């Protein structure tokens, strides 16, 4: 199963694409970020996120798209931009006719690190452990966003695997 994980943001939207055969092993296909230009209008930034999301879906043809849901933000300006980015990402996923799952940051952290209050560094450390990928050396990146997106994809894979185990245990009912 190919899973596209997305960590929405207006300035930077992280993405991570993994493949899993349901045995708890994950293979990274690609990861990165959609970065919008700060000097662009908000409409142009949202259009860029929408178009780039559609391109990712067309190129990698994921079976599932998993996205981080909006949970809580201290900054109302940030929450508006993230909400709008989330909306255009959902629209892109719908237009590409893919199934979408949403997970709260607390759920993703709990599934990835066994700690719903884990810090960014803990998420990155687990992504490195599970996928062997880490922040590129001597290069300014938005790897935090990509690591979060990979975590979202792994979160979905683990939840999906657990639901299949329960299904088999209950005789397919």
Q: What is the pLDDT of residue 21?
A: 84
Number of C-alpha atoms within 13 angstroms, CB side, residue 168? 5
**Among residues 150, 8, 5, 151, which one has the least CA distance to residue 83?**
8
Catalytic residue among 96, 122, 144, 145: 145
Confidence of residue 34 (pLDDT cuts 50, 70, 90): very high
Task: Give φ, ψ of 101 to 5 degrees.
Answer: -125, 145
Contacts of 76 (CB under 8 A, 6+ apart): none
Contacts of 105 (CB under 8 A, 6+ apart): 68, 69, 71
Enter the pTM of the model. Answer: 0.89
User: In the chain, where does DSSP find H-type helix?
Assistant: 42-60, 76-95, 105-113, 120-131, 143-169
Contacts of 65 (CB under 8 A, 6+ apart): 3, 4, 5, 6, 57, 93, 98, 99, 100, 101
Catalytic residue among 48, 68, 122, 162: 68
* SS3 category, 28: strand
Q: What is the pLDDT of residues 58-99, one digit of tens each?
A: 999 999 999 998 765 565 667 888 899 999 999 999 999 999
Report the pLDDT averaged over residues 10-19: 95
Active site residue 63: no
Active site residue 148: no
Q: What is the pLDDT of residues 117-158, one digit of tens each?
A: 888 889 888 998 888 887 666 555 668 889 999 999 999 999
Q: What is the mean pLDDT of the chain?
A: 88
Q: Are 158 and 3 in contact (CB under 8 A)?
A: no
Confidence of residue 55 (pLDDT cuts 50, 70, 90): very high
**Among residues 146, 142, 120, which one has the least CA distance to residue 14?**
146
Q: Are 112 and 126 in contact (CB under 8 A)?
A: yes
Domain limits, the chain: 2-169
CATH 3.40.190.10 fits 2-169, yes or no: no
């Amino acid at each position: 199963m190919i899973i596209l994980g997305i960590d929405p943001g207006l300035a930077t939207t992280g993405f991570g694409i993994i493949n899993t055969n349901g045995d708890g092993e994950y293979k990274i296909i690609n990861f990165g970020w959609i970065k919008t230009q700060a000097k662009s209008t908000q409409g142009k930034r949202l259009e860029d996120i929408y178009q780039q999301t559609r391109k990712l879906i067309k190129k990698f043809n994921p079976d599932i798209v998993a996205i981080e849901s909006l949970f809580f933000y201290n900054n109302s300006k940030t929450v508006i931009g993230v909400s709008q980015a989330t909306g255009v990402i959902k629209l892109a996923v719908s237009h590409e006719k893919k199934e979408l799952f949403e997970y709260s940051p607390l759920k993703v952290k709990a599934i990835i690190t066994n700690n719903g209050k884990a810090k960014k560094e803990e998420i990155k450390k687990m992504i490195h452990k599970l996928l062997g990928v880490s922040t590129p050396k001597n290069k300014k990146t938005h790897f935090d966003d990509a690591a979060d997106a990979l975590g979202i994809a792994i979160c979905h894979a683990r939840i999906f695997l657990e639901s299949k185990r329960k299904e088999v245990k209950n005789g397919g009912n």
